[in-house]
Structures are given as structure tokens and as C-alpha cells.
Amino acid sequence: MKLTILGGAGMRTPLLIQGLFKHDDVTFDEIVLFDSDKERLYVMGEISKYIVNQQINPCKLIFTTDIREAIYGSDFIYSAIRVGKEESRVNDEKMSLKYGVLGQETTGPGGFAMALRTIPVMLEYSHIISELAPNAWLLNFTNPAGLITQALINYGPHKKVIGICDAHAGIKNAIGKFLKVPHTELQANYFGLNHLGWVHSVLVNGEEKLPEILDNIERLRNISHIFSFFDAELIRDMGMLPNEYLYYFYYQEIAAKNIINANETRGEQIVNLNHSLLNQLSKLVNEGKIEEAIKNYHQTLEARSSTYMSRETSGDIHNVYEKEEKVDITFEEEGYEGLALNVIKSIVNNKQQVLTLNVPNNGTIWHMNHDDIVEVPCLVNKNGYFPLSIGEVPNISMSLIKPVKTYERYTVEAAVKGDYNAAINALTVHPLVPSFSVAKKIMDEYLIVHKEFLPQF
């Protein structure tokens, strides 16, 4: 069985490779790392190759800048590309902040700009996959995951696509820690769009536990950083548990102000961390000191995780990491690598699992189009994915889902057709952009700063 990783020079690639060997119920004969950045691919490739060779049952691992060689004959294709690299993310965030609009990688104008750059490239890959690996499953982690999946389903010839985000696993594990219940005995029912969703039911042995959680929300906030972003009053009033990215919608002026006051965006923070790490890794890899390189790699990733959302929240939530309760229960696999492995295991071994994925709606959520990509629980097995019915959702949720889905559709149209008016419409209808005039200013700046990545315009 062959696995191809698009974006193989990404910082998380070694984590993914490690995750693939955690269990022996899925094995690969060949893993191929693809990236257009030859130098960075060599560094991440050598580290990944070392990790593979340390396993009891190692497989063949190669890395290449030839997309056709990478894709040919693949069974699974994992996509986590970043067109324009981290430096473009910095521009995405800073351009919108000039106008007081939140700058964030996937939400609002930041996600919009990333999608405009990325969709044409992913559609090109879709054509190659359709030609050279027509039976492969494409697991799309490329951000913004739901939006990219929308473009692939609507315009790409290859339809075996699953959009994936690991945020739900984090929520489920936080609930499990609170209830002291292992993940296998817990069902956290979730609905929404990628980075815009809510848990509306929590079942243990068929008993609804959400009221108990809401009655004790202060404790949940104290033991899990995910919910510490939100006021207890807000969560109780909604009667649901929010995805952490809803912080940007419910506290948008606070988040934007905090980032501006920090004088550094998350993108700039990541660029500084990554540049320093890559310089160290490159030197160590070229000297053959792979073990030391891996140690430095893990230390830097821990630093990245510990500063997650620190700019947007003024760092207030990070005391929660220190006082999170330690509970002896089993957690659902987290991280991109954990969720990828879960999907692959379900399909290869016909393991019947319910996983939260980004897939076409097909009536799952009422009052939405059949081809709208939504993030919902799906039964996954050897025949693919089967979304579980949600039905009607609360107005407080639909009031955000509808405009954000409209924004996503306009964004896909703009990216595919190079349609300037569709791009302006996308930003204008987004809840985080205050007006048409601001939308036009942001778009015009993106066209200048990202000119080389937006030839369709």
C-alpha cells in the first residue's frame, strides 16, 4: 500500500510519520513525501527516513519534487500544502489588521487569501490524481480545510475526497477528561462547518450528559484550555459546547485588539520559530546528527503548541495548561496524524468508526444545499463515509453557518474563475468584515502583495 504526502516539507511531517507506526493494524509498503521546496524537503525527508528506519517493520520512504512520481499508484494521499509558505500567512494576517479586521490563518480574510492561492493548485493536483491514482482517497488537511474540500468536490475531477480537521478530537478528549470516561464510551455529537461548529449532545451509555457539563462549565473551563477561551455565561446560554475557533466570532474585537497590541501576529511568531528551527535542523542533518535534530524538532513544536492562540487571548488562557487535571483514561487520537490514521484504519480494515469529517451535506443539516461541505459525524468503513443525520440546528448556529457558507461559495468561485466581483462579495458577506468598502480595500491589497500567487486575476 502506498501513501503520498503532499506538502512533505511541512513542519508536521515527522509527527505524521511517527503516528503512522503507532499501531500495526495498518502498514504501508511505500511512503512518498512531495514538496516543491527541495532544500526543506531534504531536511524533513532525512528526519522522516530516520524515524521509519527505527521501526520494527520499516517501509520504503522516498521524497521527490516530481508531483506525478509522487502520486502515481497511491492508495491514500494526504494533503497539507501551504502555497506561499509561512511568509504569505504573515501578509494575510497583517493586511486585514490594517483595517481593524481580525487576521487569522483560516478564519475571515486570512483564510480567504490562503484559499485564493491554494485552490488552483489543489485542483491541478486533483486532475493528476484522477489520472494516475483514480482509486486513491485524498485526505485533505490543507487549510482552510472545509473551503478547500468545497472547491475539490465542486470543481475537481477526483471525488474520493475527505476534508479533515482534528479540532473535534480535542473537544471530545476534554469532555472525556471531565466525565472521566474513555473516548470509546463517549459520543460527542457535533455539527457545523470547519472551524465553525458546536457539540450539541454528549452521550455515555445512552444517557445525555450535556446538561451536567453545562451545570459545571466552570470546572470544564479550568481543566481544558479549549473552553477557557469562552465565558461560562455564553456557553450556558447557547446550551452547546463551541469549537475553539468560534472565539474569533464571539470575541472578534477583543481578538483583533489583542493581536494589534502584541505587535506580532501568530504568523510572524511561527515564521520566527520555524526559521530558527530549520537552520538548526539543516546543519544537524547535513552533519549526520539526526537524533539531535529530532530532539530540537520536538522542543520547537512544544514551544509552538504552548503559545497557541496566545496573541489573540493576551496569553491569559495558558495558565490552564499548567493546571489541567491528569486523568487515567484513553483519549481519541489527536493531531493530524491521529485522525489520518483513524480514517485509513476504518477504510482498510473495515473498522466501523464514527469520525467527524468535512463532507457534502446531502441533507444531513436541514436548510443547506446538498453539495455544501459541512463538518459532521460520519460512519467510516471500507465503502467510504456516511454522514449521520443532524436535522434542524439552532438559530444561533445557523445565523453564522449560512453567511460563512455563502462566503465560502463566493471564495471558491473567485479562486477558480479569477472573478474579482465574487471575491469582493465573499469578503463583504463574511461576519468578520464590517463593510463592502473594507472588503474592497483588503482584496486590493491582497492582489498586490500576492500577485505572483494569483495569476487567475
pLDDT average, residue stretch 299-322: 64
**CA–CA dist 32, 42 (Å, integer):** 12
Is a pLDDT exceeding 70 seen at residue 318?
no
Pairing of strands 196-204, 207-208: antiparallel
Pairing of strands 161-163, 186-193: unpaired
Asked if 163 contacts 356 with a C-beta cutoff of 8 angstroms, the reply is no
Higher local confidence (pLDDT), 145 or 335? 145
pLDDT average, residue stretch 204-232: 93
Q: Is 36 helix (H, G, I), strand (E, B) or coil?
A: coil
Nearest to 178 by CA among 222, 238, 239, 241: 222
Q: Could you report the per-residue pLDDT of 9-46, keeping only the tens digit for each?
A: 998 899 899 888 887 788 899 999 999 999 999 999 99
**CA–CA dist 228, 196 (Å, integer):** 17
Q: Is the peptide bond before 387 cis (omega within 30 degrees of 0)?
A: no
**CA–CA dist 241, 214 (Å, integer):** 8
Is a pLDDT exceeding 80 seen at residue 202?
yes
Q: How confident is the model at residue 276 (pLDDT cuts 50, 70, 90)?
A: confident
Is a pLDDT exceeding 90 seen at residue 314?
no
pLDDT of the residue at 328? 53
pLDDT average, residue stretch 127-139: 98
Instruction: Please state, for a pLDDT cut of 70, what percent of the chain lies above it.
Output: 94
pLDDT average, residue stretch 142-154: 97
**CA–CA dist 373, 387 (Å, integer):** 11
pLDDT of the residue at 325? 53
**CA–CA dist 86, 276 (Å, integer):** 13
pLDDT of the residue at 330? 58
2-163: CATH superfamily: NAD(P)-binding Rossmann-like Domain (3.40.50.720)
**Encoded amino acid at 16, one letter:** L
**CA–CA dist 361, 300 (Å, integer):** 38
Q: Could you report the per-residue pLDDT of 321-376, keeping only the tens digit for each?
A: 445 555 555 565 566 678 888 999 999 999 999 999 999 999 999 999 999 999 99
**CA–CA dist 3, 345 (Å, integer):** 13
**Encoded amino acid at 258, one letter:** N
pLDDT of the residue at 331? 62
pLDDT of the residue at 320? 44
C-alpha cell at position 378: 460520519
Q: Which of 130-144, 169-183, 193-207 has the lowest mean pLDDT?
A: 169-183
Mean pLDDT of the chain: 92
Q: Which of 44-58, 300-314, 359-373, 397-411 has the lowest mean pLDDT?
A: 300-314
Q: How confident is the model at residue 313 (pLDDT cuts 50, 70, 90)?
A: confident
**CA–CA dist 324, 278 (Å, integer):** 31
What does pTM read for this prediction?
Answer: 0.93
Q: Which of 114-128, 130-144, 178-192, 293-307 has the lowest mean pLDDT?
A: 293-307
CB-facing half-sphere around the CA of 215: CA atoms within 13 A: 5
DSSP 104: -
**CA–CA dist 114, 95 (Å, integer):** 13
**CA–CA dist 294, 252 (Å, integer):** 38
Q: Which of 136-150, 290-304, 368-382 has the lowest mean pLDDT?
A: 290-304
- 93: phi then psi, degrees, rounded to nearest 5: -75, -40
Higher local confidence (pLDDT), 193 or 229? 193
Q: How confident is the model at residue 298 (pLDDT cuts 50, 70, 90)?
A: confident
Instruction: Please state, for a pLDDT cut of 90, what percent of the chain lies above it.
Output: 77
pLDDT of the residue at 309? 73
- Which residue's C-alpha cell is 509498503? 29
- 215: phi then psi, degrees, rounded to nearest 5: -65, -25
